[in-house]
Chain A
Amino acid sequence: MSTAIRDQIQRELVPEGGVASLSHGTLVLEIPAGEVQRTARRLASEFGFDLFLDVTAVDWPGRTPRFDVVYHFYSTAHFFRVRLKTRLSEADPVVDSLVSLYGSAGFMERECHEMYGIGFRGNPDLRPILLYEGFVGHPLRKDYPKLKEQPLVPYRK
């Protein structure tokens, strides 16, 4: 069952300049940033990937483009996962939001936004969620020092 759907996705969904591979049982599609929303829409509507699992980023300082944005989708009919990967440059780290397709994308994009500074075009609510108002910088970027604190309350003497 899952091999058939896997082959079909590989045949139909990998656009120009994209790469598909199989990594530890997960189908990985590497696509250009502009294709993310279209691919996700087809995954959701045609291939039954109804559960949006996760979005996060990986920071590769020194590489251009600098960021990988990684999405995971799961099909509750085929019991199969797909990973979408796309690359974003440091100068313009913006990708289309998936909130119109999956409700769960809202919070996860908020987290990715504050941790990496990735912009999600179309997400109306990108306030901090795990961090707080006034936090400067993106702590999960590799160039953010682990010990750099930004206290809200002055410490006692």
Chain B
Amino acid sequence: MSPPRDIGLPNPVRPAFERGVRDDAVVVNIGPSHPATHGTIQVIAALDGEKVERVDVHCGYLHRGFEKECEDHTWHNLIPYVDRLNYCSGLINNFAYCEAVETLMDVEITPRCRYLRTLLSEYSRIADHLTCVAASLMELGAMTAFLYLVMIRDYVYEHLAQLTGARVTYTYGRVGGLARDLPDGWLARLKEILDQYEVFIARIHGLMDRNRIFIDRTRNVGVISAADAINWGFTGPILRSTGAPRDLRKDAPYLAYAELDFEVPVGINGDNYDRYYVRMREMDESVYMIRQLVEMLPVGPINVDDRRCTLPEKQLVYTEIESLINHFKLIMDGPDVPPGEVYTAQEAPNGELGFFLVSTGGGMPYRFHVRSPSFVHMGGVHRLLEGYQLADIIPTFGSVNMIGGECDR
């Protein structure tokens, strides 16, 4: 066996401080490949005993050139990249992106597509919150809760795979519609899964809600006030856990949210426990919304009849020259998006997911920028870590739900 080579590795980051406030403070490095933080994040913390005095958070370990890559693809071809932003809920990314392009093109989607997108957004939100709650509970040692939650998430994944063909990265949205309609029996299985979800989630409530260890680890840990949260740009469940009922689905309703009956759950303290509970309650609201949407779902086409963005039917491509050319141009050159710029946002599971697009006409975006909630949260997360114990970094990071793909892009 050869001894480890001395490889003299370069350090990709430069810490903001070499020592703590006092001389005897210890500076520890956590991450970027640390088992207990989900996602690749590096935290450099100056400690006073066990207490965290100062932290320096580094992200970017998953920066894979998303924006540059998107500016090199046509409006349709870049949809797979969009999936991999927040990979826990790829469908919401798809729909948020498609909405931005449709706004630029002035396309109005069909009613069935609108309701279906709403339904799938909420379904995706359940999967995302399940992942977040499962991972953060596992990091606290609650393995049983993790296994229950991943079990129900796997039902959702397999069910979505039946619809979209993939378990995690769906690429299901299209500019002006969706990739395909629901298969037979999909809604019946949806009902079954929602019923099973309720059984499983009741067990989680039983295991966790009044669990002494869980409460001790999360109550009054990582507290932030509503004013602070807004100053640091927090949106989504973190902002709502502070008591501010800010939710784009209610405030600026998009898709079919204006027609739905739902509540915006809020917390009281803005601590880890509240963030856990807000997520659990949001899943219940999502189930409630999905049940309404199944009843409301109209029949009809799922794609708009607009040759600028919708592919012609395959049968027509084979039989008539106009459709063949249309198909070829859409695939090779991309949809013709008029010049302009747009910012639209949707309420993703982590907060406001905004797309800022600049088009100069033609098939590719000129500028493609994502306002990702996780990245903004990382800018303010030191407020949740400083002043608490070293061990509290783990539950706090779990409850913030930093997603690498979305944060670093």
Contact = CB atoms under 8 A, between A and B. Distances in A.
Indicate yes or no for A touching B, C-beta below 8 A.
yes
Given A54-B369, A152-B10, A146 B65 contact: yes
Interface residues of A, number: 41
Contacts of B352: 53, 74
A107 interface: yes
Contacts of A129: 58-60
Contacts of A106: 379
A111 B343 CA distance: 19
**B: interface residue count bin:** 35 or more
Interface stretch (B87-95, B155-163, B229-237, B328-336): B229-237
B341 interface: yes
B68 A79 contact: no
B371 A131 contact: no
A58 B13 contact: no
A56 interface: yes
Contact of B60 (A24, A70, A104, A130): A130
A140 B367 CA distance: 9
A152 B68 CA distance: 20
Contacts of B378: 107
Given A58-B358, A134-B10, A102 B231 contact: yes
Nearest to A58: B367
Contact of B12 (A111, A115, A132): A132
A59 B67 CA distance: 13
Contacts of A76: 230, 244, 246, 251
A118 to B, nearest CB: 13
A33 B20 CA distance: 38
A65 interface: no
A9 interface: no
A150 to B, nearest CB: 11
Contacts of B58: 129
A146 B233 contact: no
Contacts of A54: 343, 354, 356, 369, 371
A134 B60 CA distance: 14
Interface in B275-327: none
Contacts of B63: 130-131
B376 interface: yes
Nearest to B234: A104
Interface in A78-124: 79, 81, 83, 102-104, 106-108, 111, 115
Contacts of B230: 50-51, 76
A127 interface: yes
A98 B293 CA distance: 43
A144 B72 CA distance: 13
Given A58-B358, A129-B60, A72 B68 contact: no
Interface of B: 9-14, 16, 58-60, 63, 65, 67-69, 72, 103-104, 230-233, 235, 244, 246, 251-252, 340-345, 352, 354, 356, 358, 366-367, 369, 371, 375-376, 378-380, 383, 408-409
24 contacts: A26-B342, A51-B230, A51-B235, A53-B354, A53-B371, A56-B367, A72-B356, A104-B232, A104-B376, A104-B380, A106-B379, A108-B233, A108-B375, A108-B376, A128-B13, A128-B60, A129-B58, A131-B60, A133-B12, A133-B13, A139-B68, A146-B65, A146-B68, A146-B72
Given A54-B343, A103-B231, A146-B65, 5 more contacts: A24-B343, A24-B344, A26-B342, A76-B246, A81-B343
Interface of A: 23-24, 26, 50-54, 56, 58-59, 70, 72, 74, 76, 79, 81, 83, 102-104, 106-108, 111, 115, 125, 127-134, 139-140, 144, 146, 152-153
